[in-house]
Amino acid sequence: MNSETSWGGPTALTDTVRRRLAAMRGKRILVVGDLMLDRYIYGTVERISPEAPVPVVRMTRETLAPGGGGNVAWNLSAMGARAAVAGLLGKDSEGRALAALLRRRGVNTDLALVPSGAGTTVKTRIIAERQQVVRVDREIAPSLTGAELEAFCRGVAEAAGKADGVILADYGKGALTQPVVDAALGAAKAAGIPVGLDPKNPALRVPGITVATPNRKEAFLIAGRADPGAGADPLSDSPLRDAAERALRHWRARHLLVTLGPHGMLIVAPRRPPVHVPTRAREVYDVSGAGDTVIAVCVLALAAGADIREAAEIANFAAGVVVGKMGTATCSPEELLAAIGGFAP
Q: pLDDT at position 118, please?
A: 76
Q: What is the pLDDT of residues 49-93, one digit of tens each?
A: 999 999 999 999 999 999 999 999 999 999 999 999 999 999 899
Contact 60, 48 (CB under 8 A): no
Q: pLDDT at position 115, please?
A: 86
Q: pLDDT at position 323, please?
A: 87
Q: What is the DSSP string of 44-96?
A: EEEEE-SSSSSEEEEEEEEEEEEEEHHHHHHHHHHTT-EEEEEEE--SSHHHH
Contact 43, 8 (CB under 8 A): no
Q: Which CATH class is domain 10-36+65-119+141-341?
A: alpha beta
Q: How far apart are CA 42 and CA 59, in angstroms?
A: 6
292 an active-site residue? yes
Q: What is the pLDDT of residues 285-309, one digit of tens each?
A: 556 678 999 999 999 999 999 999 9
Q: pLDDT at position 286, please?
A: 57
Q: How far apart are CA 198 and CA 200, in angstroms?
A: 7
CA 302 to chain centre: 15
pTM for this entry: 0.92
Q: pLDDT at position 140, please?
A: 81
Q: How far apart are CA 166 and CA 168, in angstroms?
A: 7
Across the chain, which has 345 residues, the per-10-residue mean pLDDT values are 48 83 97 96 95 95 96 97 96 95 96 86 92 91 87 97 97 93 97 95 93 95 92 92 95 95 92 90 67 96 96 93 83 92 63
In 3-state terms, the chain is what percent helix, strand and coil (to 5)?
40, 25, 35
Domain boundaries, the chain: 10-36+65-119+141-341
Nearest to 248 by CA among 326, 5, 295, 240: 240
* Residue from 34, 92, 292, 307 carrying the catalytic annotation: 292
Q: How far apart are CA 305 and CA 121, in angstroms?
A: 35
The DSSP H or E segment spanning 178 is helix 178-191
Q: Alpha-carbon torsion 79, 181, 195, 200, what sign?
A: positive
Residue 4 gets which letter from DSSP? Answer: S
Residue 306 gets which letter from DSSP? Answer: -
